Amino acid sequence: MNYLNPFKSLIIWFLMVWNVIAKLWDNKFNSSILIKNIMKDHRVLSGMRPTGQLHLGHYHGVLKNWARLQNEYDSYYFVADWHAFTTHYSDRIDLEKNVSDMIVDWLATGLNPNTATLFVQSKVPEHAELHLLLSMTTPLSWLERVPSFKDQQEKLKSKDLSTYGFLGYPLLQSADILMYKAGLVPVGEDQVAHVEFTREVARRFNFVYGREADFEEKAESAITKMGKKQAKLYRELRKSYQETGDDESLVKAKALLGEQQNITLGDRERLLGFIEGLGKIILVEPEALLTEASKMPGLDGQKMSKSYNNTISLRESPELVKQKVNRMPTDPARIKLTDPGDPNKCPVWQMHQIYSSEQTQNWVKDGCTNAKIGCIECKKPIVDSIVSELEPIQEEVAKYESNPNLIQEIIFEGSERARVVAKSTMEEVRDAMGITY
Ligand code: TRP
Ligand code: SF4
């Protein structure tokens, strides 16, 4: 029997190595599931007020970003038509046209109604209900502290911004976000404070209404429902988070809960809250996903914005694009063709940096500083680039414009889809507040 010994040890050795490989493999596999779940967990939501025509600044700054995100996340984009009233309540703007134009421009620039959920705020009246209910727990001082409140009142002196609606603007925005349990909110710098405010609103709501008398018992029984192995992992992650506060355990625990098939939504929320030692998490705290400021300059070199009157709209005709670009100011030193200029002092050069190839840029630099080209000549490639950028967008716009029923349908379907989520959140909110009769 002696001769079996080397074999035996070989087999044992083999099993050991195999075990290690299997473990490593298992880990790798598990972590890729984790990552997927974290991604899936992140719902994206953002909105835009329908206060006027969309322009190249929106396209380069916001819309291209939204279109990219729709392929990575479960994305919700909506027209914040109620928000338009908070600053423009007395203007007789044609909201109906603005709303449908906005949706058309979104579609024409690449948002896909089958990939993202596109909807209109007022078609989901649950937003108003959530706004009202959240107003019960939101301290007045929090609203008065939001930076945009005082800023806008200062800036827009001609408007009456002393209304209840204007003060509540950020809270309505919180309702928009919290309704969809959105984890990520792509916004520009100016909106980050509103997302921070939303986090506080959610935390307070959960604190006030998320506590159940038998919370711990319910949480414990939910843990056992996950099965032995998963329950153990959950407990370990919770312990590690509570002892060391390390975010990685929190993220992993959240992902783990996301994977559970045999626990109810209510239990999932309890266990989420239980990790952090709170009550049930009913409303999810969102994070701002800061949109890089658009590098698209306006016609005068400042940021492109309607309030500076320096925009090129997405629906601008080629003739108007040409006119507008040709009227752009240039380096003031170039009065005559023979006066050399400095591209760095010229807004046209900023546009070349966005639109032109290196070769063209070299031609501009040389031509301008050595007075070899005229400014109209220099602007020609910009006109051509913008016109050809807008051409396919405008073709799409024309297609949708010729089919207004389709736009109505897209708005209706998107809003109905959003409403399914909104209704379910409202049920939980009403339930937590005891409005179930
Ligand atoms: N306040 C945003 C703006 O003016 C628009 C908006 C309303 C919004 N509700 C939102 C943006 C919710 C993100 C999420 O641009
Ligand atoms: Fe501007 Fe071009 Fe004229 Fe130079 S040549 S000033 S870059 S428009």
84 pocket-lining for ligand 1 (C-beta < 6 Å): no
Our answer on whether the CB atom of 175 is closer than 6 Å to any ligand 1 atom is: no
Q: Which among 173, 184, 290 is the best mutation to test ligand 1's pocket, defined by most ligand atoms within 8 Å of the CB?
A: 173
Q: How far apart are CA 317 and CA 331, in angstroms?
A: 26
CA dist., res. 186 & res. 202, Å (int) = 18
pTM > 0.75: yes or no: yes
Average confidence (pLDDT) over 72-82: 97
What is the model's pLDDT at position 7? 63
Q: How many Cβ atoms sit within 10 Å of the Cβ of residue 435?
A: 12
User: What is the per-residue pLDDT for 331?
Assistant: 96
Q: By the 8 A CB rule, do 219 and 234 touch?
A: no
CA-to-CA dists, residue 77 to 24, 295, 403, angstroms:
40, 23, 22
Which ligand has its closest atom nearest to the C-alpha of 363? 2
- pLDDT score of 13 more than 70: no
- Rounded Cα distance between 284 and 268, Å, is 12
Report the nearest atom of ligand 1 relative to the CA of 48: 5
What pLDDT does 202 receive?
95
**Predicted confidence (pLDDT) per residue in 207-234, tens digit:** 899 888 788 899 999 999 999 999 999 9
Atom 4, ligand 2: which residue's CA is nearest? 368
Reference 174, options 208, 210, 137; nearest CA is: 137
How many angstroms does the Cα of residue 317 sit away from the middle of ligand 2?
24
Question: Is 83 a pocket residue for ligand 1 (Cβ < 6 Å)?
Answer: yes
pLDDT at 40 over 70: no
For the Cβ of 46 lying below 6 angstroms from any atom of ligand 1, the answer is yes
Ligand 1 centre distance from Cα of residue 14 (Å) = 60
Which tens digits make up the pLDDT trace of 256-267? 998 898 898 889
Among the ranges given (238-247, 341-350, 384-393, 416-425), the one the predictor scored with the smallest mean pLDDT: 238-247
The preferred substitution site among 300, 326, 331, 354 for testing ligand 2, maximizing ligand atoms within 8 Å of CB, is 331
Which amino acid would we find at residue 391?
E
Atom of ligand 2 at shortest distance to CA of 352?
A: 7
**Is residue 312 within 8 Å of residue 299, measured between CB atoms?**
yes
Q: Which of 328, 345, 348 to mutate to test the pocket of ligand 2 (most atoms within 8 A of CB)?
A: 348
Q: Which ligand is nearest to the CA of 334?
A: 2
- Ligand 2, atom 7: closest residue by C-alpha: 343
| Ligand with minimal distance to 289 CA | 1
Q: What is the pLDDT of residue 315?
A: 97
pLDDT grade for 130, boundaries at 50, 70 and 90: very high
Ligand nearest to the CA of 62: 1
pLDDT of residue 26: 45
Confidence class for position 18, pLDDT limits 50, 70, 90? low
Integer angstrom CA distances of residue 54 from 59, 104, 105, 303: 8, 10, 7, 14
pLDDT at 262: 84
Q: Specify which residues 184 forms β-bridges with.
A: 44, 287
> What span, in angstroms and rounded, lies between the C-alpha atoms of 254 and 258?
6
**E strand or H helix at 290:** strand 287-290
Q: From ligand 1's centre to the CA of 85, what distance in Å?
A: 13
Q: Which pLDDT tens digit goes with each residue over 143-192?
A: 999 988 878 878 877 777 888 999 999 999 999 999 999 999 999 888 99
Three-state secondary structure call for residue 428? helix
Rounded to whole angstroms, how far apart are CA atoms 120 and 124?
7
